Amino acid sequence: MEHQAFLRALESHALPAEQFNHQAHLRAAWAYRRSYSAREAAARCARALSRFAMAKGAPEKYHHTLTLAFITIIYSRLEQFPAQVQDWQAFMAANSDLQHDACALIGQYYSEQKLQDDSARRRFVAPDLAPLPLSCLTH
C-alpha cells in the first residue's frame, strides 16, 4: 500500500486493528515524515495513533512516551540519511533494529520501571538512562 493510502486508512480507522502491528507503527512515523516537518509529523503521528487505538476500542494500547521515543529515533535517522525518507523498504533494511531489537533499542534510553509508570503512557516522560536525539524535531 502506498504511504498516503496507508495514512488515509490509519486516520479514517479503516485499517483493520489486527494489521496494526509494530511495523505499522514504524511505517506511520516514517510516512508522516515524508509529508511534514519533523515537529509537525511527530504531532500528527502521535495524534493519529492515539485516535486509532481509541477508535478500535483499545486506548490502553497507546503509550505516548514510547510513541514519541520511537518517532525521535526514526526522525534522527532520517535526518542523517535523508534519501531513506523516499523509500520505506530501504529505510527498514537500513534500520532493522527498529523492528527486530525494539526493546533493546528503547532500553538504551528508558528503564522498564520508567516506562511502566502509568504517567508515561498518558504523557511524554523524559528518559532516565540516556537523552533521546530530540534535535531532529527542530527541523
Secondary element (H or E) of residue 111: none
pTM assigned to the model: 0.91
**Residue-level pLDDT at 136:** 74
| Cell 519533523, located at residue | 38
For the chain, what are the domain ranges?
3-138
64-90 pLDDT per residue, tens = 999 999 999 999 999 999 999 999 999
Q: What is the pLDDT of residues 88-137, one digit of tens each?
A: 999 999 999 999 999 999 999 999 999 999 999 999 999 999 999 987 77
Give 43-80 as a DSSP string.
HHHHHHHHHHHHHTT-GGG--HHHHHHHHHHHHHHHHH
Rounded to an integer, what distance in angstroms lies between the CA atom of residue 26 and that of residue 128? 23
Q: What is the Cα–Cα distance from 89 to 86, expressed in whole angstroms?
A: 9
